[in-house]
Amino acid sequence: MDSLLNAARPPVFCPGCSHERITHTLDKAFRQMGLTGERICMVSDIGCSGLFDTFFHTHALHGLHGRALTYAAGLKLARPELTVVVTMGDGGQGIGGAHLLAACRRNLDLTLLVLNNFNFGMTGGQYSATTPPGAAVGSGFLNQLERPLDVCEVAKAAGAPYGVRCSAYRNDLPDVIQRAIEFKGFSVVDIWGICPGRFSKRNRLTPKAIEESLDRLTPADGPVAANQRREFGEHYRELAAAQRVVPPPLAVTPRFAPVSAARQEVLLLGSAGQRILTAGELLCLAGLHAGLKATQKNDYDITVLRGPSISEMILSPEEIDYAGIDRPSVLVALGPEGVARRKKAFESLDEQSIVLQAAGVDVPACRARLHRVDLKAQGIKSTDWALASLGVLAKLGQVIRPEMLKAAIEARLKGEALASALKLVGGVEPGEWV
């Protein structure tokens, strides 16, 4: 097999840099595997490890510091047949730490080569995530304060199914890299090397010293038994294929006359859990069945099980431009939190407006006509009050009529929910004007 090294762009590392050794080693691994350039994408980011993509006759993507794994994941998901090899430095393990963890947890078939030389070579030898606290580096005393990261231990804890920690001077490194690439899943090879330009100028570091340091650690030399599982992409495609195709959106053909030729604004004021938003949608769908244009704006707190739940609807025979509600024609008070949040809306009501009040929910004094219905006394649960209130409006001929509401419910709900909703709105006693 021919070399995949780019003859026009030979490596440009400092003399003695272990990155150069790894460049040739990786080429040897590719050759051993019989891979051709178009079957490989080298993905790199910033730093001296980021020069790797230029030395190979392969597809290449060179991006932002620490983000190489993000591009690699997108490439691999889009082209599962591609061999994707990522080179990052020890710096990338810090800035891109979240992506390392995600790659380990995800187990997409990528190979990450960490070119670990214990410092930021390119920017002046500052300390990185793997710098020993005793090293003299370009960050003053700061590295004395932090504990270096063991890439393989972190990867293992995060679920990586394959991890190797080794020296750049290991004789069988091409085989080590080949096995990592051939592993079907996410593989990490943490390769310890020497940065002669920066690190070993101030710190005594030799291949022998690297070996001795490695020997003191729990070895990481291949598959992690506890983390073996299916490769993400293959599993994804299997689950994806079993998903149902989303049906086209519900389309309503108008078949009733609207209640009014005027723009109607309705405010549903309730509490979380009262299914206010669903009721709002049903009111709009009822309007659509009468050929009306509709808008629905919702307002609720981030705590979806507590606090106010408000839905604002406009039904109009004309196109609705401004979708805000300033003077509702109908205001439905179903829960104290919603009423409290929109206290001001009551001030704007006039004699033409209606307030539909669920008994037990206090409303501020206002000029609107008040209609009260005791839903609790009818044995209706609070979760059904919003829907029941639509039944009341329909029976009163306010904004919607019973046949519009029935059509909306039939279009939106199915099975048990449909039957119980129809029963609820058909059976609700409408209460009385106060």
Partner 1 sequence: MPLTLMEGNEAIARGAVAAGCRFFAGYPITPATTILNHMLAMLPPLGGVCIQGEDEIASIGLCLGASMAGMKVLTATSGPGISLYSEQISFAIGSEIPIVIVDIQRLGPSTGSATRGADGDVNFLRWGSSGGLPVIVLAPADVADCYRLTVHAFNLAEQYRCPVFVASNKEIAMTRETVELEHLDAPPLIERTPAAIRPHLPFQTAAGERVPGFLPIGGQTLVRQTSSTHGPDGYITTDAAEITRMLDRMKQKVEGAVARFSFVEHVPAEGADTLILAYGVTARAAGAAARMLASQGRPVALLVLKTLWPVPEAAIRRAAGDVKRVVVVEMNLGQYVHEIERVLPGRVVSFCGQMDGKLIAPETIAEAVTHG
List of residues contacting partner 1 (CB under 8 A): 9, 37-38, 41, 43, 53-54, 57-64, 67, 69-79, 81-82, 98-99, 101-102, 236, 239-241, 243-246, 248-254, 281, 284-285, 288, 291-300, 302, 320-324, 326
Length of the chain: 434
Dihedral angle computed from the Cα positions of residues 391, 394, 400 and 401, in that order, rounded to the nearest 10 degrees: 120
Nearer CB in complex with partner 1: 75/399: 75
Write down the least CB distance from residue 38 to partner 1, Å.
6
68-78 and 97-106 helices cross at what angle (nearest 10)? 30
Considering the complex, state which of residue 282 and residue 396 has its C-beta at the smaller distance from partner 1: 282
Of the two residues 108 and 375, which places its CB atom closer to partner 1 in the complex?
108
> What secondary structure does DSSP assign to 72-129, as a single string?
HHHHHHH-TTSEEEEEEEHHHHHHTHHHHHHHHHHT-S-EEEEEE-SSBTTTTSB--T
Q: Residue 169 CB, nearest distance to partner 1 (Å)?
A: 29
Per DSSP, 43 falls in state: E
Question: In terms of CB distance, is 171 or 243 closer to partner 1?
Answer: 243
Q: What's the min distance (Å) between Cβ of 325 and partner 1?
A: 10
3-state SS assignment for residue 169: coil
CA 367 distance to own-chain centroid: 48
- Of 242, 298, 234, 292, the residue nearest 263 (C-alpha): 292
281 and 266 Cβ atoms separated by less than 8 Å: no
Q: Is 226 or 240 the residue whose CB approaches partner 1 more closely?
A: 240
- Report, in Å, the least distance between residue 354 CB and partner 1: 23
Which whole-number Å values give the CA distances from 150 to 46, 116, 142, 173, 188, in the listed order? 21, 11, 18, 20, 12
Distance in Å, CB of 2 to partner 1, minimum = 14
What's the token pair of residue 59?
Answer: 């597809």
Nearer to partner 1, 37 or 360 (CB): 37
**Which residue's CB is nearer to partner 1, number 216 or number 244?**
244
> How do beta strands 59-62 and 354-358 pair?
unpaired
CB of 144 to partner 1, least distance (A): 30
In the complex, the smallest distance separating the C-beta of residue 321 from partner 1, rounded to whole angstroms, is 4
List Cβ neighbours of 433 (8 Å cut-off, separation of 6 or more): 369, 370, 371
User: Shortest gap between Cβ of 244 and partner 1 (angstroms)?
Assistant: 6
- 46 CB burial (10 A radius; 0-12, 13-18, 19+): buried
| C-beta closer to partner 1: residue 207 or 254 | 254
